[in-house]
Amino acid sequence: MKPVSAVNLLSQLPAAQPNEVFESLLRHPGFHLERILSWGQVTPEGEWYDQAQNEWVLLLAGAARLLVEGQEALALGPGDAVLLPAHCRHRVIWTDPDQATVWLALHYMSEA
């Protein structure tokens, strides 16, 4: 058996980067867990995420605004979570440029 150890998702964050940083934490058939780091990045104008799988997102640190097609923008802070069903068109319209915005994203397929 491998030794069990703890990981702190908010420690040793890299310095601000020109692009978002996507780090795979756990991958298994049917789901993928990743940490995303943003420093003011947004979804490019006119582009939308439209994913084949569901996505549950938890904001761990920082701040962001998420736009879901046909709805008002959602302001997100630490502890806020959003469930985005498959093919729910959405885009990030703002992340805090002055600090790291740390997201935890779980992508998973629906049961048939």
pLDDT in tens, 37-70: 999 999 999 999 999 999 999 999 999 999 999 9
The pLDDT of residue 101 is above 80: yes
Residue 15 falls within a domain, yes or no?
no
Quick check: 44 and 82 in contact, CB under 8 A? no
Unique residue bearing structure tokens 């990030």: 92
Residue 40 falls within a domain, yes or no?
no
The pLDDT of residue 112 is above 70: no
Look over the chain and give the mean of its residue pLDDT values, rounded to a whole number: 96
CATH number at residue 79: 2.60.120.10
pLDDT at position 110 is 82
User: Looking at the 3D structure of the chain, how many domains does it have?
Assistant: 1
Residue 39 falls within a domain, yes or no?
no
Residue 64 falls within a domain, yes or no?
yes
Other C-beta atoms closer than 10 Å to the C-beta of 101 total 25
The pLDDT of residue 15 is above 80: yes
Beta-carbon contacts of 62 under 8 Å, excluding residues fewer than 6 positions away, are 38, 78, 95, 96, 99, 100, 101, 102
pLDDT at position 98 is 95
Residue 9 falls within a domain, yes or no?
no
pLDDT at position 111 is 72
Q: Which of 74, 77, 72 is nearest to 99 (CA)?
A: 77
Residue 30 falls within a domain, yes or no?
no
Distance CA 7, CA 38 (A): 20
Domain range for 97: 45-104
